[in-house]
Structure 1
Amino acid sequence: MDKSSLLTTGQMAKIHGINKRTLMYYDDIGLFSPVIKDEKGFRYYTYEQCLTLESILAWRELDLSIESIKNYNKNHSPEAYLELVEKKEKETLQKINHLKQIRSLLISKASAIRNSLGLQLNTINIEMYEEEYLLSSPVLNNDSYISIFSSVADTLKNLTDKSIYFHSYGSIISVDKLANGSKHYERYYVKLPRKIKHDNLYVKPAGTYLQIYWTGNWSTLPDAYNKIFLYAKDNKLKFADYSYEESIIDHTTANSANEYVTKILIRLKT
């Protein structure tokens, strides 16, 4: 075969925008081989092979395994092609939905941080809230770090996006216990963008809430509650049941624990 009508490894790589080492690797593993490999080890390809290489690169772009591509190239047919395409279409849609969920979570978390930066911190307000959906841990029996992190980890196992970094998270504590000086958290949760069917779904009811964005180390939260209870007493407010703490700015976004921002919501009796 006249080599002048063939493409060298460098020319083939340049046409397809890949590294020469990729072509050598594909040859070594038997995925895509040159039409000629001379005694000096130089590889030569036909122009017709460009389409084959493009199909391989396209399959790799879709994360199809080397072995699957090999099998398809050995036994390709319209039926085999359709089977692969339908499988990859389903997987691609799943990835798109997964990325959309992550985007939604990141937008929500960024919005919460942005809002907190524009608020007057450590100031009490009364706000109306719609129903919210939380994925809650079981009721905790103690506040040991092992218990807390095990609880959070078990809760995240139920999520598609298991990294807590993507989620707004927080804790739930009884107002009665707070009034008696206890700081024993009953549940930990991650916020959900929508209602789901799940045994651990916790619905935070709609209603009128006392709200404060508290800045400072988590160890200063008792000071926040002292301020809250004094405000409630002065304004003759009665609390319904639980306090919901949501971490807005934590160690992943603040340089110092003194810059943490925790959102506290307590539903009021009507």
Structure 2
Amino acid sequence: MAQDGMFTISEFAELSGITRSNLLYYDAIGILKPAYRAGNNYRLYSSRQLELINAILSLRSMGLSLDAVREHIPNRTPENTLDLFETQIKALSAKIDDLLQLRESIEKRAETIRLHKDIKAPLFTIEVRSTETIFIGRLCASAPNLDVAYFHSFLKQCREVGISHATQIGQIVFMESALAGSWDAAGCMYAKTNKGSDNIEEGMFAVLFELSQDYFDDNHAYYEKFMRHVSKNSLELRGNIYIEYPLDEMSENDPKKHLVKIFSPVRQR
């Protein structure tokens, strides 16, 4: 110990559990300056500063930035500390919401792969589905314009409302267009997330699985094949057509094995 109640920087670092380099940095940015500088420019810290460094480390462990800590240290009062904590609680709650959404997206992606990895396309089948919440893009485009630019425009919309980039997305062809065979009519994109206010209804769905080499392929042939299967099985549409890619660039290296899923709610004629 340098003198009664005072510690050299090395002693203070050992007692506080913070590195010497961090103490030098805290000194440089004004978070914790030595209590005294000796004539040889040695930094000396007081025993009271052990309590202060513990408070600083506690604030940092709560996720507070160095700037927030630096601003708070000279302005500590119960009221200011409560304000600081309440602000941090809100920030942490937002992060928790984002992490929960990200986990949900990953879980949905994983479940999609599990359910579809052994599908042998082409395949037409019937599914019974529960209601699924989705976010529909506010912009629509004609089918030929559901291209790279439109795709990234939709992703931007998702980011604006806090939807993770990891969320699975799909395309919609409106029922009126499908019944008229107008595959170039306006359609939309959607994201499979609980943050949406729309939904894919529950009930019986006709489903067509096909192999697709490109997300932006011309899907007209798939749509027409889907409608032929619907008619052949004495079914009729009762809602929009949805297009998803259960196995895509994320999960399958071979583009010839990318899986497209076309499905729509139907009823018996």
Q: Which moved more, 1:139-148 or 1:50-59?
A: 139-148
Structure 2 residue 259 is matched with structure 1 residue 257:
no
| Corresponding letter in the other structure for 2:211 | T
Contact 1:171 1:185 in 2 (8 A): no
Which of 230, 233, 237 aligns to 1:232? It is: 230
Structure 2 residue 105 is matched with structure 1 residue 105:
yes
Which of 158, 161, 167 aligns to 1:159? It is: 161
- The CA distance in 1 between the partners of 2:62 and 2:239, in whole Å, is 51
TM-score by length of 1: 0.81
| Corresponding letter in the other structure for 1:104 | E
Where does residue 203 of structure 1 map in the other structure? 199
Deviation at 1:268, TM superposition (A): 0.8
Contact 1:172 1:185 in 2 (8 A): no
Where does residue 188 of structure 2 map in the other structure? 187
- The CA distance in 2 between the partners of 1:157 and 1:92, in whole Å, is 19
- The CA distance in 2 between the partners of 1:38 and 1:183, in whole Å, is 81
Which residues in structure 2 correspond to 1:209-248 (within 5 Å)?
A: 209-218=205-214, 219=217, 221-248=219-246
Contact 1:151 1:188 in 2 (8 A): no
Where does residue 149 of structure 1 map in the other structure? 151
Q: How many residues matched? A: 263
Where does residue 90 of structure 2 map in the other structure? 90
Deviation at 1:265, TM superposition (A): 1.1
Deviation at 1:262, TM superposition (A): 2.4
Contact 1:140 1:147 in 2 (8 A): no
Distance 1:181 1:61, change over 3 A: same
Deviation at 1:32, TM superposition (A): 0.3
- The CA distance in 2 between the partners of 1:131 and 1:73, in whole Å, is 52
- The CA distance in 2 between the partners of 1:110 and 1:210, in whole Å, is 23
Contact 1:173 1:183 in 2 (8 A): no
Contact 1:214 1:221 in 2 (8 A): no
Which residues in structure 2 correspond to 1:53-92 (within 5 Å)?
A: 53-92=53-92
| Corresponding letter in the other structure for 1:122 | P
Deviation at 1:134, TM superposition (A): 1.9
Instruction: Structure 1: give runs of 5+ residues left out of the alignment.
Output: none
Q: Secondary structure at the match of 1:212?
A: strand
- Residues 232-266 of structure 1: per-residue CA shift (max 9 Å, x gap): 34322222342101222322333232232222211
Deviation at 1:5, TM superposition (A): 5.8
- The CA distance in 1 between the partners of 2:62 and 2:52, in whole Å, is 16
Where does residue 45 of structure 2 map in the other structure? 45
Q: Secondary structure at the match of 2:246?
A: strand
Contact 2:173 2:183 in 1 (8 A): no
Q: Secondary structure at the match of 1:102?
A: helix
- The CA distance in 2 between the partners of 1:215 and 1:41, in whole Å, is 73
Distance 1:220 1:67, change over 3 A: closer
- The CA distance in 2 between the partners of 1:40 and 1:214, in whole Å, is 78
Instruction: Structure 2: give runs of 5+ residues left out of the alignment.
Output: none
Identical residues among aligned pairs (%)? 21
Where does residue 139 of structure 1 map in the other structure? 140
Q: Secondary structure at the match of 2:235?
A: coil
- The CA distance in 1 between the partners of 2:100 and 2:26, in whole Å, is 34
Q: Which moved more, 1:101-110 or 1:232-241?
A: 232-241
| Corresponding letter in the other structure for 1:58 | S
Deviation at 1:159, TM superposition (A): 2.0
Where does residue 130 of structure 2 map in the other structure? 130
- The CA distance in 2 between the partners of 1:188 and 1:3, in whole Å, is 71
Contact 2:172 2:242 in 1 (8 A): yes
- The CA distance in 1 between the partners of 2:190 and 2:225, in whole Å, is 25
- The CA distance in 2 between the partners of 1:71 and 1:226, in whole Å, is 65
